[in-house]
Structure 1
């Protein structure tokens, strides 16, 4: 079953160190295969509603509702977050983190997503201090080879299948790298 979105996929952010805007995208995705879908289009308030079947709603701390690429978006500055409690074992060893990003200040490292378990195993797509987009876990760090510029929109997809990590930017596969096993524990998880 596919659900068609006009405004589709923006995810939450954690531990953002400088200003950043997160946005929705257009497309199709199967809600049955998703842990959560956060459109980030509420436009006001402290809630980030999960449009997927699990209803893992998040709480916004800081951040500012603004106009974005496809409607509403959230601008994050250092210390602003959306925190989403996920169910036990929600994500194990596969993941796709897809979103629109606009960096309004490219100074310093910026983690634009993170998911972790109670044992502190983490998956973190981020922009490093040299402005390259990367995807990191406790055991590997994959560079995309793409350096971002300030005030330019990027559609970014980080895909992990348990053995390989791929990073797509603006629809183009930029890197495909075999990685050591990564797995979040069958515990309560947070994004």
Structure 2
């Protein structure tokens, strides 16, 4: 939208650009006066939270504690791993030598003979055999392991009291490329997924998988201490459920919910004379299906001698916008020079 000065010397100038910024960068930019809906990929977590017993989003960016955002208090202790930019927000970088996260052994991540799902995102930095992405197994007879080999393949072992499902394919990995992986265990099947797609179905009743050892990220259990079993690379977005997610839920988990932000800008009154004011109203609405966090919406106030900023706010920050949430902010401009201004 342009402001036009309707007088003998008519001239126009750009009347602002509304820009919405997420913590990770620009989400939307909209010219004034136009309703603008812009979509952006949301972070993982498109599935239901039903049965979610642990969730590590790796958003801290500092410190030695990896906080569990599920509300169950399953915080992990970081040993050596360093903070870096992740797939969504932050992640932890593991050096392949001695870095890992110890998430403890709380009762709610031991599932007996019941169903469970493990989901995570990884970005390995090299190919080496037996590097552990996640482990809930040591010298105890039960548990599960997710690891990569030196040929760029990912595998899972699920060990129970009745049988062992060993070397189950989970897909592949590449150097410095993000992929998501999911291990889904039911009473008589184990399914694996990569980037939302089913990789393998293994028919087996393994029985009780409870392990007396701690859940470790980036490291093998205490029974294996060789340095080559440590992960070299990045981990982000880990979720554990006490149920078997469906294929559709796994797909949603990978794709994430869709983020959509609608920006609307209006001016009233449209026509003003010298010394009069007009109010610019900006409306921000989350028209998507996922929460947006850490948003800054800023309007470019026209840089012209004819108009003066009087009061209000031309930019706002929001910690959170949930689906269907709407926020409105305003600022006032005044004309200083003679003439009639059409702001339509």
TM, length-normalised to structure 1: 0.77
Question: 1:28 matched to which residue of 2?
Answer: 46
Establish whether residue 175 from structure 1 lines up as the match of residue 200 from structure 2.
yes
Deviation at 1:140, TM superposition (A): 1.9
Question: What is the aligned counterpart of 1:39 among 46, 57, 67?
Answer: 57
Establish whether residue 129 from structure 1 lines up as the match of residue 157 from structure 2.
no
Which deviates the most, 88-97 or 158-167?
Answer: 88-97
Question: 1:107 matched to which residue of 2?
Answer: 128
Deviation at 1:118, TM superposition (A): 8.3
Instruction: Give the number of the structure whose residues are more often strand, by fraction.
Output: 2
TM, length-normalised to structure 2: 0.45
Which deviates the most, 121-130 or 60-69?
Answer: 121-130
Larger Rg over CA atoms: 2
CA RMSD of aligned residues (A): 2.5
Alignment of 1:28-107 (within 5 A): 28-78=46-96, 79-88=98-107, 90-92=109-111, 93=113, 94-107=115-128
CA distance in structure 1 between the partners assigned to 2:138 and 2:149 by the alignment: 23
* 2:182 aligned counterpart, secondary structure: strand
Whether contact under 8 Å (2:190, 2:202) holds in the other structure is yes
CA distance in structure 1 between the partners assigned to 2:94 and 2:207 by the alignment: 28
CA distance in structure 1 between the partners assigned to 2:44 and 2:86 by the alignment: 13
Whether contact under 8 Å (1:35, 1:91) holds in the other structure is no
Q: What stretches of structure 2 of length at least 5 have no aligned partner?
A: 1-21, 23-41, 216-344
Whether contact under 8 Å (1:133, 1:145) holds in the other structure is yes
* 1:113 aligned counterpart, secondary structure: strand
Deviation at 1:134, TM superposition (A): 1.0
Q: What stretches of structure 1 of length at least 5 have no aligned partner?
A: 1-5, 7-23
CA distance in structure 2 between the partners assigned to 1:123 and 1:43 by the alignment: 28
